[in-house]
Structure 1
Amino acid sequence: MAHLSLRGIMKSIFMTVLNLAAGVGLVVLAAGLLAAEAPDGDRDLRAYESATRCQAPPRAPADCRWTAKFTVSDVRLTSKRGESDSAVLTDADGDGWETSYPNSGPVLNTLDEGDRVTGTVWRGRLTEIAAMGQSQRTHAAPVDMRTRVLIGALILVPGGVLMTAASTWRLLRLRARPEPTPGMVATLGLAYALFLAGLFSPLLVSAGGENFRTTLAVWVPIAAVMTAAAFVSTARKRRTMSAPG
């Protein structure tokens, strides 16, 4: 059924052109992200890690780090994909700070309502909490954007290049061969499969979204297996089509 669906897409000139535009768009988007973030994507992280302690509570967002005691007002742990673990922390003035976290540990999952934690505030954002000798950064903490951009390129580029290649191949061969070949269909299928594999690969390992080498180690074998499967499928289809009736 998937093969027939992909073949139907390749038979449609409109859908082929749409795939071509999507493939080029993915590659251009990845190139733009790399150009924007790769040269100096860790600037905020470096500024945060080198920031000194504030001498007094800052009245406005400041580049120094201020630590203060917070009371845990609410903790929400979730296992739902797409949702983050979160907590509401109340400062000495009674103001509530909504915080979310990349994962539940090592601090958040030990907290109950009414517990006290030490929070770090930087540039007006609550970036880190600490309790019982452990610390944990929130989603507001700066990260190395170069890692995220590289993972984004890993997701976008392979599928985009193959979508572009399959669609261009189809359009160039349109007059000579009105029907799409098994290779064209397999290439487009591989493009979709690699794109989906890239989307889900950071979720397959703990903290994979922040670790490019870990994500790469998981994604590359998956991509290799998918590529081999596409070649095998194409070879079988060609043998079937060339076999005597």
Structure 2
Amino acid sequence: MHTGVRRVLGLLMVVVSVAMAAGCVLVFTKWLPADVARYEDYRSAGRCPSGSAAQEWREDCLRKVGLTVVDTVVRGGGKNSEYRASVSGRRFHGEVAFGDPGPLLDTLQAGDRVVGTVWRGDIVALTKDGLRQKTSDEPRDEPQMIAAAGAGLGLLAVLTLGFGTSRLLPLRRCAPLTWGGSGKWLFAAILMATFGVGLPAVWLGMAWQFVAPMIVAVVLGVAMLLRGLRGSAVAGAR
């Protein structure tokens, strides 16, 4: 590759790494605290006073409202999955999304009367005949995956910065930081650690504060292993 092209590519990678680093900072300073605070507010929210009229749609209390089902869409199939219901009421006309078809959505038909639970302007659950299903708008206690995403972004920023700066150096000095060398393995390790630690942390209810250090430890372990294997290969070639 021509030296000039290498340097342009290196500068672009450095810029991308800065953007990823900024995203990592935003995850931990904005998104994660806001998500945790929103869930705590929801968990502590009480029912709206009985018989009180709603002063505004975005109330901090939980209000029950009567709704009529207009139609539903229940479509499985991986990436094309779609679970939603169109509902209409005195103060709300629109769609609510769900993460899965049951236990209520796949039983609903047009014209059914349901009770919606509203919090801060969002319908967080629908109930009919004792069956209750959470909507996608209900706050969830899942900060672990947000922390995992932040850690993954930060590690990708470091990796991309390494790739970028290596392209600004002479060819003989950047062999360890090539895609065919350790790059692809570190990239795969970051992705696998992000999901491999984040998802189980959600399922097990692990404290989110442990997620990022665990991901970093896994990737550092892979990096040290790759370094050791490369050192052994170099020693064996002599």
Whether the aligned pair in 2 keeps the contact of 1:24 and 1:160 (CA below 8 Å) is yes
Paired with 1:84 and 1:111, the residues of 2 have a C-alpha distance of 15
2:88: which partner in 1? 90
Relative distance call for 1:132 and 1:43 in structure 2 (3 A) is same
- What is the correspondence of 1:1-245 to structure 2 with a 5 Å cutoff? 12-39=6-33, 41-54=35-48, 55-61=51-57, 62-77=59-74, 78-81=76-79, 84-91=82-89, 93=90, 96-144=93-141, 146-171=143-168, 174-175=169-170, 177-178=171-172, 180-185=174-179, 186-194=181-189, 196-197=191-192, 234=230, 242=237
Paired with 2:195 and 2:142, the residues of 1 have a C-alpha distance of 19
Whether the aligned pair in 2 keeps the contact of 1:193 and 1:226 (CA below 8 Å) is no
Whether the aligned pair in 1 keeps the contact of 2:123 and 2:135 (CA below 8 Å) is yes
Whether the aligned pair in 2 keeps the contact of 1:71 and 1:90 (CA below 8 Å) is yes
Alignment TM-score, normalising by the size of structure 1? 0.68
Per-residue CA deviations over 1:143-189 (Å, capped at 9, x if unaligned) read 45744531321331222222223333453xx24x4574145333432
Whether the aligned pair in 2 keeps the contact of 1:170 and 1:184 (CA below 8 Å) is no
Per-residue CA deviations over 1:169-216 (Å, capped at 9, x if unaligned) read 453xx24x45741453334323543465478769988x87x9887xx6
Alignment TM-score, normalising by the size of structure 2? 0.70
Paired with 1:227 and 1:136, the residues of 2 have a C-alpha distance of 44
Q: CA deviation at 1:100?
A: 0.6
Q: Which amino acid aligns with 2:88?
A: T
Relative distance call for 1:231 and 1:70 in structure 2 (3 A) is farther
What secondary structure is seen at the aligned counterpart in 1 of 2:138?
Answer: coil
Mind listing any 5+ residue stretches in structure 1 that lack a counterpart? 1-6
Paired with 1:224 and 1:74, the residues of 2 have a C-alpha distance of 51
Paired with 1:194 and 1:135, the residues of 2 have a C-alpha distance of 40
Paired with 1:49 and 1:115, the residues of 2 have a C-alpha distance of 29
Whether the aligned pair in 2 keeps the contact of 1:24 and 1:161 (CA below 8 Å) is no
Q: CA deviation at 1:34?
A: 0.6
Q: Which amino acid aligns with 1:79?
A: G
State the Cα RMSD in Å: 4.2
Q: CA deviation at 1:83?
A: 5.4
Paired with 2:120 and 2:82, the residues of 1 have a C-alpha distance of 22
Whether the aligned pair in 2 keeps the contact of 1:73 and 1:89 (CA below 8 Å) is yes
Aligned-pair identity (%): 21
Relative distance call for 1:211 and 1:138 in structure 2 (3 A) is farther
What secondary structure is seen at the aligned counterpart in 2 of 1:67?
Answer: strand
Whether the aligned pair in 1 keeps the contact of 2:10 and 2:166 (CA below 8 Å) is no
Paired with 2:221 and 2:109, the residues of 1 have a C-alpha distance of 45
Paired with 1:183 and 1:152, the residues of 2 have a C-alpha distance of 23
